[in-house]
Each structure stands twice: as C-alpha cells, then as structure tokens.
Structure 1
Amino acid sequence: MDQRLSFVTLAVRDLDAARRFYLDGLGWQAELDVPGEVLMVRVADKVVLSLWDEAAFAAEVGRAPSRDSVAPLTLAHNVATREEVGEVLQTAAAAGASYVRPAQERDWGGYTGYFADPDGFLWEVAWNPGEIGASVLP
C-alpha cells in the first residue's frame, strides 16, 4: 500500500455555512459542489478536503458522527513566515471562525495559533522553520 492521504472528510451540520466559510470567507475554490450533499476543495496537489452534509455523511458511511466532545485531531495550514500566522488567523476570524488559541512561540521552534471552523473542527495555523515545515509548502 502506498503511503498517502488522499481525502480528509468532515461531516458538517450546515453545508451552506461551510460553503460560506471556506469559499466566500477564506477564498478557496470548489472542485466539486453538490448542494445539500458535499463540497470538495483541493487543498494540495493530491489532497482533497471533503465537506459532507451530516445526513449525507451518515447515509454514506452508515452512522452519524458523534459530537459529544472535541474530535482528537487538528487540521493544519502551514505558512512560510511567522507573520502569516496572524494574517491567516485574522482571515479565518473574519470568515466566521472562532479563536481557540492565539498565536505563540512553541518550544520546538515554531509559531502557531488555532481556530475552529463553524462546525468546531480545529485548524492549526503554523510557521515551522524546520525542514519538515518547508517540505509541505508550495
């Protein structure tokens, strides 16, 4: 099996709100948009963020997502400079995100902050000056 991640799928409560946040607010472009069902956005050369209406998600996978607590995962958006972290956090907030943690220096040498999208999915905005950080930038 190839070592690869192709899709990140998130079940969202309100697909129209997700569309407004990701497309209108963040300025991302849809690759596929099926109203009432799914919105797909290419986020890397071979990686797609797939936002499914919660009911359509449950029909697809056979069960509804649990919303009992914060999901034990984060999505990350890495940037090339320390200053861009604050810029992305501000853009997300203007689009309707809520701040989770303000940007701060990290013990490992980077600078990160967190926001939650309208469904509560956590996004890390990170400047990682190390080799692995540079390897994920365009």
Structure 2
Amino acid sequence: MEQRISLITLGVDDLARSREFFEAGLGWTPAQAPEGVVFYQLPGIALALFGRDDLADDAGQVVDGRFSGISIAINERTDADVDATMARVQAAGATIVKPAHKTHWGGYSGYFADLDGHVWEVAHNPFWTINDDGSVTI
C-alpha cells in the first residue's frame, strides 16, 4: 500500500465565512464548490471545508469542542514568507496561537487557529525542499 493522504476535511461552523477566510487569508482558490462543501487542490492532496455538524453526522461522531491533537502545516520557503502568511491570516480573522519564532530544531515557525479553531503551523524548515509545484521533499 502506498503512503499517502488524499484529502483532509475540516468541519466548519459557517461554510461561507470559512471559504472567505481561506480565500482572503491564505489566498487559495477553490477547485470545486458543490453545494455544502468547498474543495481546494493542493500539491498532491486536497483540502475540503464541510459543515461541522454535517461532518460529525457523516463520521458518526459528536462535536465536543476539544483540541484533537492535530495540526495542519504550511511550509514556506523563507522566514519572511512565514511572517507574511501569519500577518495575512491574522488580518483575515485568525487567532495567533504562537507567534512565529526561531525554533530549537533550526527552523522558524508559528501557529494560528482558523475561524473554526483548527490549529495550523506555518513554518520554514531549512532542511526540507519545497519543490516548484509546492510539494515538500523531506
């Protein structure tokens, strides 16, 4: 079996509001947006926004509001790119959870929570390569 993730789906409280955040804050463009869901094509993977209650129903789970222990990372090419992304998402309504800073592992990283509380890391890892298509090589 191949090692891969094809899709990450985020449950959101207000699909229209979250879509606006992803487009204004991250500068992303939807690949598809059928009623009730928005898909973003990323290098080698897709991200979907789906109503939180609809996702919970689909997965047979209860929304309990606890941090799930999962974060999503966006790797940038430079420290300055990290700072620019953090500023842009904050201006679009994100909460900065941990400001960008030099890390103990030799990189530069910060965390934000999107409008629905999903935690994202924005990092520059000088030991990884970001390819021309945006994919990461470890």
CA distance in 1, matches of 2:114, 2:106: 26
Q: Which residue of 2 aligns with 1:116?
A: 113
Cα offset for 1:124? 0.5
Unpaired runs of 5+ residues, structure 2, are none
Unpaired runs of 5+ residues, structure 1, are none
Provide the TM-score with structure 1 as the length reference. 0.88
Q: Is the 8 A contact 1:106 1:112 kept in 2?
A: yes
The residue type paired with residue 97 of structure 1 is: A
The residue type paired with residue 6 of structure 2 is: S
CA distance in 2, matches of 1:63, 1:112: 32
Q: Which residue of 2 aligns with 1:2?
A: 2
Where 1:86 maps in the other structure, the secondary structure is helix
- Report 1:2-21 matches (<5 A): 2-21=2-21
Name which of 114, 119, 129 aligns with 2:126. Answer: 129
The 1:77–1:136 alpha-carbon spacing in structure 2 relative to 1, beyond 3 Å, is farther
Q: Is the 8 A contact 1:71 1:121 kept in 2?
A: no
2:100 aligned with 1:88: no
CA distance in 2, matches of 1:66, 1:42: 29
Q: Which residue of 1 aligns with 2:29?
A: 29
Name which of 61, 64, 80 aligns with 1:63. Answer: 61
Cα offset for 1:135? 4.9
Where 2:50 maps in the other structure, the secondary structure is strand
Provide the TM-score with structure 2 as the length reference. 0.88
Where 2:16 maps in the other structure, the secondary structure is helix
CA distance in 2, matches of 1:31, 1:39: 8
Where 1:32 maps in the other structure, the secondary structure is coil
CA distance in 1, matches of 2:58, 2:31: 20
The residue type paired with residue 40 of structure 1 is: F
2:75 aligned with 1:73: no
Cα offset for 1:136? 6.2
2:36 aligned with 1:41: no
Question: RMSD of the alignment, in Å?
Answer: 1.6
CA distance in 1, matches of 2:37, 2:52: 9
The percent identity for this pair of structures is 36
